[in-house]
A and B are shown apart, each in its own frame.
Chain A
């Protein structure tokens, strides 16, 4: 997170996030993907046999599955021109002092240790393929809360891990979930015991440093009965002329009466393909909330999903997608009502400018017998100039009659009259446009903790720089 002091609005992405440290890995696989690479990753991690087997099966699925022919253009990804595993250090540190200097310098610049001190319960910091720092407040640890890197979770809690891993998103779900399942590394493993409420957020930060790198973190969150957790993830990468790939899988299980909020501020550099599968299952009276901010990347395809498995479950997706020059944000949501008396709410705000393309692709599904479900979908698009594009693909599969489904969509252009009104008060045009955009996304931003709301507005302003005149 950035603070007033280290954030000058005039700085570009390049200076603030787009920098990189010289390579200083302890191990880097050769480029490309095959059985040997997968075996190598698993061996280096010292994994149990079942995980290696799982990975190899996933690799087979990945190789068989065709590339998706919808959404964004993924045709240019060369899977043999990517480093699949870059191990930055020999161990996860519990103190920033023990993090290698170059990596610590990076996270300092990104304001992570400072944010940890000020407003977080725990932090995981991933650098390329591995988590280099991980820590949770002692008070939470004493209450039985587990917050580890996913690799450490597998080592320390093998039973719990195996019970849930891959149960929400099977390897075969899609080509990129198969890829992640084959080469996953890093990410978070969280367990919140019955009735425990983690009110102050846990945060993971994902940083790519190496060129031509693929980052494949894996996250598994289990919220037990009546428990609560707010997990926040942020991510950035250096600006390189060649493309990087980020393909994560996030699985969440929320038991009876539990609640999970998962907030993402995705700010990848514009050379990153961001192809992520995120899904939660919510049981009786449980609540899942995805708050999803997509500002960066070359192409993002991400549709956070909630499967409402038992009566009383509730799901929300609040999403912002901002596409500038050369960017395509194919973002959205899925709400699947598997049981009666379940409710969902989707709010999507997409903004496109300078030829960017942003849109909403969503699915609301109600299975036969899931009576008295309610779902509302609102998707609003704001197009800042005539070169830019917005798409809305709201799919509905309603197999039950006794339901209430609402859908509203608006598309608007930033109005000359709005700009004139604000500038007539002395506000410079560029700032006026940024204020209109900030207002447009306010219904989502107000759901963020204060520090992240500030961060989000700053990122929007950054995106808006140079957009006028």
Chain B
């Protein structure tokens, strides 16, 4: 994997409401790679995911995020998404009254209409044909073992934990990002749901997509095999290694890393 990495994060410092959470995080991810960031609660994993996506609450105080060679720090969230970044949410947000299908179609159309979003205005172009959209969606839903009725339900409204996560993967499948961030996707999933979701991610991961799995537990990494595992403590990546590191963490816990860092 000698290509230029799609995502390059250099010495990133991020504050939330004046408190520094990320303290010099660096990471590189290329297409076709699967990376995992593991770390204890409060280490800044979700802050990192949300910062990549441009959540307004997170303030980058120094450092750089390059996506396909360009800085994205000045880009709005929607522009980052259209450029090819995607985040599967830990807690997907409910939008009552908005059907899953019309939401997803709007997301796809936002990519098709190049004029959209440039000045914050709405797209005026037609976008994907409803028939074609439906066909693609139903194909992906079948892979994720989702009922057809799902399409007409309101977005994340009354979805079970497993349904929410499957819906996130379905969006990822339809939006075909270059880099997908999975923020604690394994939380709240039973073992069957975890397997289905992981299979979904594995089916999508390939030469055209890089994946960043953010997790507290080793569990999801039994299903999604990372090329690299990074351990995050107190806002920084303190050590990195191959897939075997996940097992080591599982066996020894995070205290071991903390001690190593301290030494």
Contact = CB atoms under 8 A, between A and B. Distances in A.
Interface of A: 8-10, 415-418, 420-432, 434-436, 438-443, 461, 465, 468-469
B95 A418 contact: yes
B92 interface: yes
Given A423-B77, A425-B103, 8 more contacts: A420-B55, A423-B78, A426-B111, A426-B175, A427-B78, A427-B110, A428-B122, A431-B110
B81 A424 contact: yes
User: Which 7 pairs between the two chains have the least Cβ-Cβ distance?
Assistant: A439-B97, A442-B97, A428-B117, A439-B98, A426-B81, A425-B107, A421-B93
B32 interface: no
B93 A415 contact: yes
A10 B107 CA distance: 20
Contacts of A435: 95, 98, 103, 106
B217 interface: no
B51 interface: no
Given A9-B122, A9-B124, A439-B154, A427 B95 contact: no
Give the most central of B87, B98, B155, B175: most A CB within 10 Å: B98
A461 B121 CA distance: 11
Contacts of B89: 421, 424
A429 B78 contact: yes
Q: How large, as a class, is the contact surface on chain B?
A: 35 or more
B207 to A, nearest CB: 23
A426 B118 CA distance: 11
A441 B95 CA distance: 12
B38 to A, nearest CB: 23
B173 to A, nearest CB: 13
B96 interface: yes
Interface of B: 53-57, 76-78, 81-82, 86-87, 89, 92-93, 95-98, 103, 106-107, 110-111, 116-117, 120-124, 154-155, 171, 175
Q: Interface SS of chain A: helix, strand, loop or mixed?
A: helix
A439 B98 CA distance: 5
Contacts of B54: 424
Contact of A425 (B81, B97, B116, B120): B81
B110 A442 contact: no
A83 B122 CA distance: 40
Nearest to A431: B122
Contact of B97 (A415, A431, A443): A443
Nearest to B96: A439
Contacts of B76: 423, 429
A403 to B, nearest CB: 29
A423 B120 contact: no
Given A417-B93, A418-B93, A422-B95, A434 B103 contact: no
20 contacts: A9-B124, A10-B122, A415-B93, A420-B77, A421-B92, A422-B95, A422-B107, A425-B110, A425-B171, A425-B175, A426-B175, A427-B78, A427-B107, A427-B110, A428-B110, A428-B121, A429-B120, A430-B120, A439-B155, A442-B96
Contacts of B78: 423-429, 432
A438 B124 contact: no
Contacts of A10: 121-122, 124
A113 B222 CA distance: 65
A12 B106 CA distance: 22
B109 to A, nearest CB: 9
Give the most central of B92, B95, B154: most A CB within 10 Å: B95
B98 to A, nearest CB: 4
Contact of B95 (A9, A421, A426): A421
A426 B56 contact: no
B123 A436 contact: no
Contact of A424 (B77, B96, B117): B77
Contacts of B106: 427, 431, 435
A465 B82 CA distance: 21
A438 B155 CA distance: 13
B204 to A, nearest CB: 16
A439 B92 CA distance: 16
Contact of B98 (A9, A415, A442, A443): A442
A218 B117 CA distance: 46
Contacts of B123: 428, 431
Contacts of B111: 426
Contacts of A439: 95-98, 154-155
A428 B125 CA distance: 14
A436 B78 CA distance: 16
A419 to B, nearest CB: 9
B122 to A, nearest CB: 5
A416 B56 contact: yes
Nearest to A421: B93
Given A425-B81, A426-B175, A427-B78, A441 B121 contact: no
Contacts of A429: 76, 78, 120
A195 to B, nearest CB: 36
A429 B106 CA distance: 12
Nearest to B110: A426
Contacts of B155: 439
